[in-house]
Amino acid sequence: MPTPLLRSVHVHPVKAMRALATAEAEVQPWGLAGDRRWAVVDAADKVVTQRRHPRMALATAEPLPGGGVVLSASGRPPLTVEVPHPSSTVTVDVFDKPVEAVPAGPGAAGWLSAYLEGEFRLVHMDAPEHRRPVDPDYALPGETVSFADGYPLLVTTTSSLDALNSLIAQGDHAHEGPLPMNRFRPNLVIEGTAPWAEDGWTRLAVGEVTFRVARPCGRCVVTTTNQFTAERGKEPLRTLARHRRSDGRVLFGQNLVPEHTGTVRVGDEVKILD
């Protein structure tokens, strides 16, 4: 096998909006710098994602120095949103868990409400070092996460995607494939491994940063959402359910927790430590 390398790096400044590729990223204890520090909440202050609103895939949040973002989407004027002052927080519901966050101003709420056709607002995680702990069943004491689904980073491999696409091509929805990697919304994409090799990893190093593998990533309906059109199909969940099911979940990719901070760069060598 060739030496595994970091193929690409992706951040998602606002949870569930379009992923942005970057040449390098700082790894912080709770995830990549700028990744999912913002989230959209509904009128009940429940965090919303592409599960309920697939059109979120078509909206972009470009990061600004200092942590702000510029929101943009077809048919809507761009809006600059600065990091709100943490003078007051609201309790938001992140997958049935309470998390304190800082609401952005009415301009962001108006922009989102018009785009998603409902009552929505934008919130910012001001202090990720203590706002939201990682699931204690898979974490060490003190480990935290941003607004990501559950863990600081998600890693996938190009060889496993190729293997999955081969299985999709043999199934009853072959016309939906091959699928691109953006269906899985990873942070790190690795090339040069055997298909499904990541199933056996427990620790790895990407350039100067080492990571612990917390658990395989269970996949949801978001993976069936075309990230360029917001249209939904059946794949890859149909094929994953046939070939990658475990404990009631369908799996693709691995959740990671960084063991220390540093910077990862496209082209970094990847070493499987355990």
Instruction: Supply 100's token pair.
Output: 């304190």
Contact 207, 25 (CB under 8 A): no
pLDDT value for 149: 96
- How far is the C-alpha of 94 from the C-alpha of 4, rounded, in Å? 35
pLDDT at residue number 2:
84
pLDDT of amino acid 131: 96
**Token pair of 49, please?**
């994602």
What is the per-residue pLDDT for 1?
72
What's the pLDDT at 10? Answer: 98
What is the reported pLDDT for 267?
98
What tokens appear for 86 in the block?
């943490």
Predicted local confidence at residue 186, as pLDDT: 98
Instruction: Provide the 3-class DSSP secondary structure of residue 156.
Output: strand
pLDDT of residue 193: 98
One digit per residue, pLDDT tens: the chain, 274 residues?
789 999 999 999 999 999 999 999 999 999 999 999 999 999 999 999 999 999 999 999 999 999 999 999 999 999 999 999 999 999 999 999 999 999 999 999 999 999 999 999 999 999 999 999 999 999 999 999 999 999 999 999 999 999 999 999 999 999 999 999 999 999 999 999 999 999 999 999 999 999 999 999 999 999 999 999 999 999 999 999 999 999 999 999 999 999 999 999 999 999 999 9
Q: Which residues of 48-75 are buried (b: 16+ CB within 10 A; e: fewer)?
A: bbbeebbbbbbbbbebeeebbbebbbee
